[in-house]
Amino acid sequence: MVRTPLSPWEWQRGERFGALLRLARGDRSMVEVAAAAGVSAETLRKIETGRAPTPAFFTVAALARVLGLSLDELAASCAEDAGSEQERVLSA
C-alpha cells in the first residue's frame, strides 16, 4: 500500500499537535507520560517533534486521557485557524 504524501498543512497540523502535547506534559517526563498512555517514549517523542504528524486515533485518545485533554479541544486546537486555541485548551 502506497501512502499519499502529506501536504504542508498536514505537517503543520502535526507540529501544532506535538507542541500542544509538549505544553500539556509540563514537568512530567516523556517516559512517564508515554508509559501511562501505553505507548513507547519514542512514539511520543516522534509525535511531539512533528516527525509523526498523523498518529493513530487510539494513541491520540490515550495521550489525551493521560494529559487531561479533551479530544474535541485537541481537534480544535490543531485546526488550520487555531490561532491561540492551544493556550485556551491548556488553561481550561
pLDDT digits (tens, 9 = 90+) for 52-67: 989 999 999 999 999 9
**Is 11 a residue whose pLDDT tops 60?**
yes
Q: Which domains does the chain have, with CATH numbers?
A: 8-91 (1.10.260.40)
Q: In a 10 Å sphere around its CB, with 0-12 CB exposed, 13-18 middle and 19+ buried, how is residue 76 labelled?
A: middle
d(CA 5, CA 18): 19
- pLDDT-derived band of residue 88, with 50, 70 and 90 as boundaries? low
pTM: 0.81
Joined together, the cell numbers standing for residue 33 give: 507520560
pLDDT digits (tens, 9 = 90+) for 40-55: 999 999 999 999 989 9
DSSP category for residue 81: T
